[in-house]
Structure 1
């Protein structure tokens, strides 16, 4: 997920750049572009450094953040994120709102971080990113939907957003399947997982104990 989230701000910066260059292929829909251009800078400010939060969570979970940063992102991540780069640069920056909607439309419950810490045996600090999103993102759904209503003000723009939503949802499912698959080569490994106790005893072979 770090490989996904570290691309969020660069993607929005690219979309903001494209909003300033409608003649270069953004479609010339000035009202929609102006609405998108107003939304993106504020949203970029809210998303800054979230990838750094995840690196701290990794360290709290017993992972090596540098190893996770250095290894190539999974092809499933490249398919999910890379499609947005293509659509933003070669079609219309409004496409990115579909991607943002899938990733951010529903903030996690404030109870979820503590529940995950209890069930996995990981320290609460390993879920700080999730906790912060639960505490801060309650109003994001309305803001994202309002941005879509304002920016996708033509049939072609709405089609672009819908296509982005459908692709992102399917691609995110593939990413999550890879993360959760037993013995997945993309699954992070915790050096201390073999000995860290969980609710049902110590985990073995890099797994997580508990229900």
Structure 2
């Protein structure tokens, strides 16, 4: 079994914890409010804006024998740069205040997720970053587009209000094969274990971010 398949198999329990978040369950049932969607976008902004800095931090800490990963990171950075601005555009298209969102503070759960991501990259192993990438891209490839469709239909929003979700549903389809090939080249058992540990923690923390969203009835 390749490491990518192990990563999927051995983080399934934590993935189910994320998918069981009431906000995700409600959305998939067509129950969504503008307040909840805006709260999601606010918190997405506060973790997505750290994606590129985290990738740069990872690249700066790679060992000499991990130099081959630098090319992958430069491709990821080129793809991910500026996506936090898309989220602010979505907020504005939903009638929210773009600048207030930029200046706002994240939920405790979102801030904890970001802090954990930096700590794992800087203190434990830079390859922990790929545990985070697996959680975010592996989730969005399955959920982003159908959730965007449901949110638009329920709230009567234009496509411009769901650019972040639609783009990641499309982008991450392509990214996933790239990520699979990348993970299958990682053979060091210690690196593999650190990535698995980071993914398990990130599923839990991302799930907690969704659990922090307001659940008032539509």
Unmatched runs of 5 consecutive residues or more in structure 1: 23-29, 183-206
Residue 112 of structure 1: how far off its partner (Å): 4.4
Deviation at 1:65, TM superposition (A): 1.5
- 1:82 deviates by 1.1
Instruction: Give me the whole-angstrom Cα distance separating, in 2, the residues matched to 1:145 and 1:124.
Output: 30
Q: TM-score, normalised by structure 1?
A: 0.75
1:163-178 correspondence to structure 2 within 5 Å: 163-178=197-212
* Equivalent position of 2:61 in the other structure: 18
Is the Cα–Cα contact under 8 Å of residues 144 and 168 in structure 2 kept in the other structure? no
Aligned-pair Cα RMSD in Å: 1.8
Task: Give the paired residue count.
Answer: 173
Name the SS of the counterpart of 1:159 in structure 2.
helix
CA–CA distance in structure 2, aligned partners of residues 141 and 90 of structure 1: 27
Alignment match of 2:161 (pick from 122, 126, 130)? 126
- CA–CA separation in structure 1 for the residues paired with 2:177 and 2:125: 22
> Based on CA coordinates, which of the two structures has the bigger radius of gyration?
1
**Change beyond 3 A, Cα 1:110–1:177:** closer
TM-score (norm 2): 0.73
Q: CA deviation at 1:39?
A: 1.1
1:186 alignment partner in structure 2? none
Deviations 1:122-167 (A, max 9, x none): 33321111122223331111111222222x3211101100110000
Query: Secondary structure of the equivalent of 1:179?
Result: coil
Does the aligned pair in 2 maintain the 1:105–1:144 contact within 8 Å?
A: no
User: Is the alpha carbon distance of 1:179 and 1:154 closer, same or farther for their aligned partners in structure 2, counting shifts above 3 Å?
Assistant: same
Structure 1 stretches of 4+ moved >6 Å: none
Please give the residue correspondences for 1:1-211 in structure 2 after superposition, counting only pairs within 5 Å. Answer: 1-19=44-62, 22=63, 30-31=64-65, 33-106=66-139, 107=141, 108=143, 110=145, 112-150=147-185, 152-182=186-216, 209=218
Q: Is the 8 Å Cα contact of residues 105 and 141 (structure 1) preserved in structure 2?
A: yes
More helix as a share of residues = 2
Deviates more, 1:132-141 or 1:86-95: 132-141
